[in-house]
A and B are shown apart, each in its own frame.
Chain A
Amino acid sequence: MSPTALPPRRGTYPPSFRTMSSARSSRSILPGFGLSLGFTLAYLGLIVLVPLSAAFLKTAGMGLHEFAAVVASPRVVAAYKLSFGASLAAGFVNMVFGLVVAWVLVRYPFPGRKLVDALVDLPFALPTAVAGIALTSLYSSNGWVGRWLAPLGIRVAFTWTGVFVALTFIGLPFVVRTVQPVLQELEPDIEEASSTLGANRLQTIVRILIPQLMPSLLTGFALAFARALGEYGSVVFISGNMPMRTEIVPLLIITKLEQYDYRGATAIAVVMLVSSFVLLLLINLLQKWSRRYHAI
């Protein structure tokens, strides 16, 4: 976890703050290092790393032309556009409303706040297929919400909007849960300092609070975006799955698999995997950045 380079010694005892002085011995007296690390690496390798490398090896055997032909075909490009576009939009909406929800939960006590706070994690806990059919039922033209939108000419189910709604649902907890602790730990005196220096409330929010929350806001956004990109269960029911229009990338992968087009499916997947890894890297960098702020 620590960003500093660790000396290349195995099995030594990490110097924690409390025991800095007692960390002289170069060998740990705690047993089980070999066993626990060995098992960890073996399990990680067998369950995660080897299977993931299969996807890359499969595409490596494809040749650049075939690969490009698959991922640049109009149907695939349309799916990428939909997945990235709707995920970005949902992440952005979650960033705005997630900030408001976190703000209200931390700053404004109201009856039932604990219940609301617990409910925020629902999209993490609710199986995606259940979320999918529930949202479809709500937003179809005779659903509880859809029937009020239909007369206004707004169709949600089986359109881009439906994909967007489902992705907003599953990304909802991320921003709230990354911003909330930061907001909680923000000392009130920086806001007071700002006001004694003559800033009004809006200036304090825009110049002091938002910048200090920015790393966590962006982290939450990136997490929500990454989750939305790969989401399948909550989307397939509400999207209608029309090729070129409401077909998300994960669905396209399944479609290719069902047609036994393993190479096509894998090529599409590799592009998604690379995007995800880049996002993961970005999220790690964001977290390092936010730690710098909290070094005081």
Chain B
Amino acid sequence: MSIEAHSLYKKFGAYTALDGVDLNVPQGKLVAVLGPSGSGKTTLLRIIAGLEFADPGSGRVLFHGDDVTDLPAGKRRVGFVFQHYALFRHMSVFENVAFGLRVRRRRDRPSREAIAERAHRLLELVQLDGLAGRFPSQLSGGERQRVALARALAVEPKVLLLDEPFGALDARVRKDLRRWLRRFHDEIQLTTIFVTHDQEEALEIADEVVIMNKAHVEQVGTPQQVYDRPASPFVYQFLGNVNVLRAPALAGARRRGGPAEDPNTEGQIYVRPHDIEVSPHDAGGSGLSAIVRHIHAAGPHARLLLEQVQTREQVEVEISRSELADLDLGVNDLVRLRLRQSHSFDEDYAI
């Protein structure tokens, strides 16, 4: 089931949460909505779920082409997993999972046995069948998360929506669980949107990433697309480290014949630390002169902090440790920098 949203607007008093947002999630995909807090991503998810309604007169929400804009949450067949799980603490794990089926109208309600069977099957699916009789307070964070998922799936939702699904977990559990979610999604093939502020999480498991900032969608694309070809300075800065350099300084720094050759010497150039090549200064005339100020060699890569000779700008460079060994660098050495790939967002520069 595909999900579409067209030109959604939402204001809370003076605060604008969504300012004309469009979204298109194809059937069966796992899509991440990524953005800093306050960017409107959770509001978007809640409007899709029917927990919140877009401002009157604005926008539509379509599930598989059907307009659900005015349907309340309970009638949309969405599975929603809350950031803090929102488990019913007076009910056992089993009762939590069965809840959605038990509150159905009599003619739609499965038999007691069918409900029990379905609940147990779901608990098996999320690998918690042994804990059916426990109460939420007796579970770990990761287990609660999976109960919340099983509970959402019990009502046979057409789409699955997760609000910061790993936000409340500690780092290790978080990593395990997000990989598990990816495999789980591949198994059940349910159209899924999850909201996160963690770029690593979004880039690792999503088929497609929707990046939001200040009530707008900044960019939509596969993780590789958004990382390699960011559509805006915001996306560049939000997804990983970036150097922002004044363009004139780079007039002679580009590799000859490189794809990013740009006659425009005004404005700013965005370049990722690992897209900068370092060579000894005496190697040739082209490139940018810089002085090594600091070397961090701990970790998988070496990070160099350099100061440009011409402009005194700070530049961060990431190179492999073997490269560092080959260069045999020390603090205050003079080197030459070349940009393998860079980007400019000046108005007349089209992507």
Q: Which residues in A have some Cβ–Cβ distance to B below 8 Å?
A: 187, 189-190, 192-200, 203, 207-208, 211-212, 214, 292-296
For the complex, give the distance between the alpha carbons of A193 and B104 in Å.
15
* A192/B86 in contact, CB under 8 A: yes
Is B84 close to A, CB under 8 A? yes
- Contact A196 B78, CB 8 Å, known A187-B84, A203-B103, A292-B137: yes
* A212/B89 in contact, CB under 8 A: yes
For the complex, give the distance between the alpha carbons of A41 and B83 in Å.
48
- In the bound complex, residues from chain A placing their C-beta under 8 Å from that of B167 are none
The smallest C-beta distance from B199 to any residue of chain A, in angstroms, reads: 25
- In the bound complex, residues from chain B placing their C-beta under 8 Å from that of A194 are 88, 99, 103
Is B215 close to A, CB under 8 A? no
The smallest C-beta distance from A127 to any residue of chain B, in angstroms, reads: 40
- Contact A193 B103, CB 8 Å, known A292-B137, A293-B89, A296-B137: no
A-facing residues in B61-116 (Cβ within 8 Å) = 72-76, 78-80, 82-84, 86-90, 99-100, 103-104
* B86/A211 in contact, CB under 8 A: no
* B103/A197 in contact, CB under 8 A: yes
Question: CB-nearest residue of chain B relative to A197?
Answer: B100
* B86/A189 in contact, CB under 8 A: yes
* A193/B137 in contact, CB under 8 A: no
For the complex, give the distance between the alpha carbons of A193 and B83 in Å.
11
Question: CB-nearest residue of chain B relative to A198?
Answer: B74
Question: CB-nearest residue of chain A relative to B99?
Answer: A197
Is B173 close to A, CB under 8 A? no
Which of A195, A198, A211, A212: most chain B Cβ within 10 A?
A198
The smallest C-beta distance from A202 to any residue of chain B, in angstroms, reads: 10
- In the bound complex, residues from chain A placing their C-beta under 8 Å from that of B74 are 195-200
* B90/A293 in contact, CB under 8 A: yes
For the complex, give the distance between the alpha carbons of A256 and B305 in Å.
93
For the complex, give the distance between the alpha carbons of A190 and B74 in Å.
14
Is B49 close to A, CB under 8 A? yes
Partner of A196 from B51, B104, B136, B137 at Cβ < 8 Å: B51
* A197/B155 in contact, CB under 8 A: yes
Is B151 close to A, CB under 8 A? yes
A interface secondary structure, majority = helix
Question: CB-nearest residue of chain B relative to A208?
Answer: B88
What are 15 A-B pairs with beta-carbon distances under 8 A?
A189-B83, A190-B87, A190-B88, A192-B73, A193-B82, A193-B88, A193-B151, A196-B76, A196-B78, A197-B74, A197-B152, A203-B103, A208-B88, A293-B89, A293-B137
- In the bound complex, residues from chain B placing their C-beta under 8 Å from that of A197 are 74, 99-100, 103, 151-152, 154-155
The smallest C-beta distance from A206 to any residue of chain B, in angstroms, reads: 10
* A193/B90 in contact, CB under 8 A: no
- In the bound complex, residues from chain B placing their C-beta under 8 Å from that of A193 are 80, 82, 86-88, 151
Question: CB-nearest residue of chain B relative to A294?
Answer: B89
Partner of B82 from A192, A198, A208, A214 at Cβ < 8 Å: A192
The smallest C-beta distance from A194 to any residue of chain B, in angstroms, reads: 7
- Contact A199 B103, CB 8 Å, known A193-B82, A293-B90, A295-B137: yes
For the complex, give the distance between the alpha carbons of A59 and B73 in Å.
65
Known A196-B78, A293-B137; 5 more pairs at CB < 8 Å: A196-B73, A196-B79, A197-B155, A198-B100, A212-B88
The smallest C-beta distance from B83 to any residue of chain A, in angstroms, reads: 8
* B155/A198 in contact, CB under 8 A: yes
* A198/B51 in contact, CB under 8 A: no
Partner of A192 from B51, B89, B154 at Cβ < 8 Å: B51
For the complex, give the distance between the alpha carbons of A203 and B100 in Å.
11
* A195/B72 in contact, CB under 8 A: yes
For the complex, give the distance between the alpha carbons of A214 and B91 in Å.
13
Question: CB-nearest residue of chain A relative to B138?
Answer: A295
The smallest C-beta distance from A101 to any residue of chain B, in angstroms, reads: 23
The smallest C-beta distance from A50 to any residue of chain B, in angstroms, reads: 42
Closest 8 CB pairs of A and B: A197-B100, A189-B86, A193-B86, A199-B103, A295-B137, A196-B80, A198-B74, A211-B90
- In the bound complex, residues from chain B placing their C-beta under 8 Å from that of A214 are 90
The smallest C-beta distance from A283 to any residue of chain B, in angstroms, reads: 19
The smallest C-beta distance from A187 to any residue of chain B, in angstroms, reads: 7
For the complex, give the distance between the alpha carbons of A193 and B154 in Å.
13
Partner of B84 from A189, A199, A207, A211 at Cβ < 8 Å: A189
Question: CB-nearest residue of chain B relative to A214?
Answer: B90
* B90/A212 in contact, CB under 8 A: yes
A-contact bits for B145-175, CB 8 A (1 contact / 0 none)? 0000001101100000000000000000000
Which of A192, A203, A212, A293: most chain B Cβ within 10 A?
A192
Partner of A189 from B78, B82, B100, B137 at Cβ < 8 Å: B82
- In the bound complex, residues from chain B placing their C-beta under 8 Å from that of A189 are 82-84, 86
- In the bound complex, residues from chain A placing their C-beta under 8 Å from that of B86 are 187, 189-190, 192-193
Which of A193, A203, A292: most chain B Cβ within 10 A?
A193
- In the bound complex, residues from chain A placing their C-beta under 8 Å from that of B73 are 192, 195-196
For the complex, give the distance between the alpha carbons of A293 and B80 in Å.
23
* A196/B88 in contact, CB under 8 A: no
The smallest C-beta distance from B100 to any residue of chain A, in angstroms, reads: 4
Partner of B89 from A195, A199, A203, A296 at Cβ < 8 Å: A296
- In the bound complex, residues from chain B placing their C-beta under 8 Å from that of A207 are 99, 103
